[in-house]
Structure 1
Amino acid sequence: MRDIVHLIDVMPDKAIHRASHEAQESSDGFAFRLLKPLRGELLTTTSSDPRVWVVATAPSEKTWCVVVFNDRPTEVQFDLTTLGQLRASQTVVIEDAGLVRTPVALEQHNRGYAGLLKPKSVQQFVFDVPAQAPRGVIREQQVPASGVLHELAAGKPLMLEIALTPEQLAGVTGARLRLVQQNLARRVDVKFNGEPLAVEPTQSWLHEQPLEVKSLRAKNTLQFTLREGVADKVTINAASIVLVTKK
C-alpha cells in the first residue's frame, strides 16, 4: 500500500505498470482493490508534510476521490482542504497491516475535514462534486540527466548535465528537481547551475523539491560534492528535472 500510494504521488505511470504486472492475489493486488475508487484523471494535490502523501482522482464527473497516507511512525493530525465546499459521501481508513477498510466519522469545517491518521495508515475520501467544479490540465515532463548509478568519491565532485530545448521551456510554469539517491542527506553539498542548493531528502530514496523557473537554462548543471569526513557510501542513482505547464 505504501509503495503504491507513493508511486501514484510522484510517478503515476510507474504505478500503472506495477498494477499490470502484479497478480490479483498478491499484496499489491489486494492494495489496488482497496484503492479501487482512486481511478480516473489525476487531480493536483499538495501536502505541507513530506511524510504525509496526498493523491486524488476524478473517477467520474460527479465524484472526486482523495487518499491521504501517513508515512510517519507516529500519529498525525491532518486538515484536508478542498476546492470549494465539497461534501464527503464516504470516508474510510485503510490500515496497511490488516488491509481492511473501516468507515470513520470526521470533523467537518467550513473548508474541508480534520482528522487523525495512525502510523502507516491510509484515509480515503469520496466527494460529491458539483457539475460546475473548475477543471484545468497540468502537464509534467521529466527530462533526465545522462547516466545512472553514480557513486560519489571524496575529492571528486560529480557533475551532471540536463539539457532543455526551447520547446520544452516554452510555457513552463513550474519545475522540480527529482533525485533517486542513497544516503544523500547531510553528507553532500549540491549546486544547481553554480548556485548552492539545500537538498535534504527524507527517508524515501526518491526526493523532489521545487526549482525556480527563472533559474532554468538550455544547459543545466548539477554538482554533487561529498562533505569532508564522510565515510558512508553515497550514490546518485538518477537525476532529472520535471517541467510543469498548465492549460
Structure 2
Amino acid sequence: MRTIRHTDHTDHTGPGRLRLRLPAGTVSVVADPGAERASVALSPQRHGDPAAAAAIERAEATQSGDLLEVVVPDPVRVSGVTQNVVRHDDGSLTVFQHADVVTGSMTGLTIEDGRMIVGSVSGQADDGGGDVRAVVRVPAGHRVDIAAGAADVKASGPLAGVHATIGTGDLAVAEAGDADLRTGAGRVVLERVGGGRVRTGSGSITVRAVAGPLFLSAGSGDVFAHLVAQAEFTATTGFGDIYVTAAPGVDVDPVGLRARCGRVSTP
C-alpha cells in the first residue's frame, strides 16, 4: 500500500480540493470532520496483483496550495493476448480485452489470427489485473474531483462538492453541497445534495433529498427524487419511469419531468 498525503503547505488546514485519476478499481471517500489534511491510500484491488502494484508505484502526486492531485497510470501488461472472442453456442459473442488467464472449462478452442475462439465456455477470463483500490480521507467540506475508466465510487460525510466522471461503475454520495456526476453505465445514489446535475447512460438515479436546483438524466433507467426545498428540478429518462415526491409545502412542477418510454409520477 502507498499513502500520499497533502503536505505542500503548513499555513493551511481544513477544507480544500482533491483530484484523483485512475484507470479502474474502487474509490472510497471519507469526509472526516477530524481530518486536517487530505490523504490517498492506494493498494491493489486484488492481493498480489503485480500490474496494480507497479501502477501504484508509478502514481504521480502534485500539490499546489489547497489542491492535492493524484494520477494513477494505466497498468503495464507484459504477457497475455490482446483480445479474446468467445462464440457461445447460442450464437452470441463475448469479447475480452487484455486477457492473461482464463479459468474454467472450455470446448472447441481454436486460434484464429491470434484470437481464441471458443465454442462453449464455463468460467471467466482474467483481464490481467491492474485494478486499484483508493481510500481517500479529506476534511469535512472538501471538494473532490474523480475520474476513472471503470470504478465504483462511494463518498461518505459532508462534502462541499463532488465531481465524478466514470466510464462504467456505480456512484454513491452521502452529502454534497453541489454535485456533477456522470457514469456511462451504473447506478447513482445521492442521499442529500444542494444542487447540480447527474447523468447516467444506463442505470437508475436516486436522490433522497434535493435541496437546490438539480438536473437528472438517465438514458435507460428509473429516476427517483424527493424534494425538500423549493427549487428548479428537471428529470429525463429515455427508457424508464420518473417518481418524484416532495416535503410538505414544496411544489413539484411536472413541466420539467420527461419520460420518453415510461411514466411520470408526482404528488
Give the TM bin, normalised by the shorter chain.
Answer: under 0.3
With the length of structure 1 as denominator, give the TM-score of the two structures. Answer: 0.26
Report the structure, 1 or 2, having the larger strand content: 2
Greater RCO (CA < 8 Å, at least 6 residues apart):
1
TM-score (ref. length: structure 2): 0.25
The structure with the larger Rg is 2
